[in-house]
Amino acid sequence: MLNIQENVPLAPMTSFRIGGPAKFYVEVKSVEELKEALSYAKEKNLDYYVLAGGTNILISDNGFAGLIIRIKFSEIKVNANGLVEASAGTPLIKVVNFSAENGFTGIESLAGVPGTFGGAVRGNAGAFGTEIGSHILEVTALNVETLEIEKFKQASSDFSYRLSIFKKDKKLIVVSATLNLETAEVAQCKAKIMEIVMGRTKKGLQGAKSAGSYFMNPKIEDEKILKDFEQEKGVTARNGVVPAGWIIEQAGLKGKTMGGAQVSENHTNYIINTGSGTAENVIMLVSFIKQQVRDQFGVQLVEEVNYLGF
């Protein structure tokens, strides 16, 4: 039996700690409950939105006038074929740790990426050169129109930079996935995780109220910008892509503040809620950044963060 609640504050469910309430809210603990919630929304003619870890989203100050379906099913196991299989609501860090503890290597670099496994698969989360999509064997998704389960092998999941078929096709909700990992020494995997987590902690961003990198790293056509980047950083811009944070810094926007929203001093692609930030503050700052970067460099930044309720 679904427990549909009304007028539920959403800000505490996001890493930004921003956003108004959901008119209707339900937590689903199984695929059956997910189907029930979708049927409920259809029956009542409500818009719905899937929320998971809330670490890659900006919710409007007015909240959302439909039904928030919060993915809460969280199971992880080594399946009958000896592969790590996890459901969508499992925290990604749990999947990373569980894999290591069972002697599987490949996704240690994703330790410290907050949020759920399903959210990571949908957005092809990546860090330090590793993307989750490269380690997926098969994804199980629910088709919201037919309420049937569909299976996608890695090759048909269309994984690319922060993109997958599950992000492109709004009909699909990730419910679980199986990983394709190599075997390795448990101690070695755990040491790598420790190193990654410590490195991220040192940067001082893990606890900040943000949604991680706000913009996708842009592909640059302008030779001068590429040359400046390569000279300053001493690295080659792979496929002409430069970090969005670098270009935002070049635009002189490090630390730029609007109300309670600020371009991080530590990582210029992070927008921080300094305490009393509102979605409006963030949107104004984002518009300013996009305009400045466009005017100064002719580069159009595109958000990695998802919007809800605007």
Q: Would you count residue 264 as binding ligand FAD (CB under 6 A)? A: no
Q: Closest Cα partner for 39 from 143, 147, 140, 142?
A: 147
Q: Would you count residue 71 as binding ligand FAD (CB under 6 A)? A: yes
Q: Would you count residue 174 as binding ligand FAD (CB under 6 A)? A: yes
304 as an active site residue: the answer is yes
Q: Which residues from 9-48 bind ligand FAD, rule CB under 6 A?
A: 15
Which spans in the chain are helix H?
31-43, 92-101, 117-122, 165-168, 186-202, 223-233, 244-250, 279-297
Q: Would you count residue 114 as binding ligand FAD (CB under 6 A)? A: yes
Give the C-alpha separation, 130 to 107, whole Å: 7
Q: Which residues from 119-148 bind ligand FAD, rule CB under 6 A?
A: 119-120, 122-123, 125-127
Buried b (16+ CB within 10 A) or exposed e, 195-229: ebbeebeeeebeebbbbbbbbbbbebeeeebbebb
**Taking the complex as a whole, how short is the minimal distance between the CB of residue 296 and ligand FAD, in angstroms?**
26
If you ran DSSP here, which 8-state letter would residue 110 be given?
A: G
Paired strand residues for 127: 130
Residue linked to tokens 């606890």: 207
Span near ligand FAD by CB under 6 A; candidates 27-35, 113-121, 238-246, 289-297? 113-121
Q: Would you count residue 54 as binding ligand FAD (CB under 6 A)? A: yes
Nearer to ligand FAD, 225 or 282 (CB): 282
Q: Would you count residue 251 as binding ligand FAD (CB under 6 A)? A: no
17 as an active site residue: the answer is no
Give the C-alpha separation, 18 to 10, whole Å: 8
Nearer to ligand FAD, 126 or 297 (CB): 126
Give the C-alpha separation, 271 to 301, whole Å: 14
Q: Would you count residue 306 as binding ligand FAD (CB under 6 A)? A: yes
**Taking the complex as a whole, how short is the minimal distance between the CB of residue 207 and ligand FAD, in angstroms?**
8
Nearer to ligand FAD, 225 or 271 (CB): 271
Q: Would you count residue 118 as binding ligand FAD (CB under 6 A)? A: yes
108 neighbors 188 (Cβ within 8 angstroms) = no
- Catalytic choice (60, 164, 176, 213): 213
Q: Would you count residue 197 as binding ligand FAD (CB under 6 A)? A: no
Distances (CA, A) of 183 to 104, 179, 196, 226, 243: 4, 12, 19, 39, 32
- Catalytic choice (27, 87, 108, 162): 162
Among 26, 38, 50, 282, binds ligand FAD (CB under 6 A): 50
Judged on CB neighbours under 10 Å (0-12, 13-18, 19+), 133 is buried
Nearer to ligand FAD, 175 or 247 (CB): 175
Number of residues that bind ligand FAD (CB under 6 A): 33
Residue linked to tokens 């410290």: 112
Among 19, 115, 133, 218, binds ligand FAD (CB under 6 A): 115
Give the C-alpha separation, 148 to 214, whole Å: 34
Q: Would you count residue 116 as binding ligand FAD (CB under 6 A)? A: yes
Give the C-alpha separation, 78 to 86, whole Å: 9
Q: How many residues does the chain have?
A: 310
**Taking the complex as a whole, how short is the minimal distance between the CB of residue 229 and ligand FAD, in angstroms?**
20
Chain contacts with ligand FAD (rule: CB under 6 A) = 15, 49-57, 71, 88, 113-116, 118-120, 122-123, 125-127, 166, 173-174, 205-206, 210-212, 306
Residues noted as catalytic: 162, 213, 304
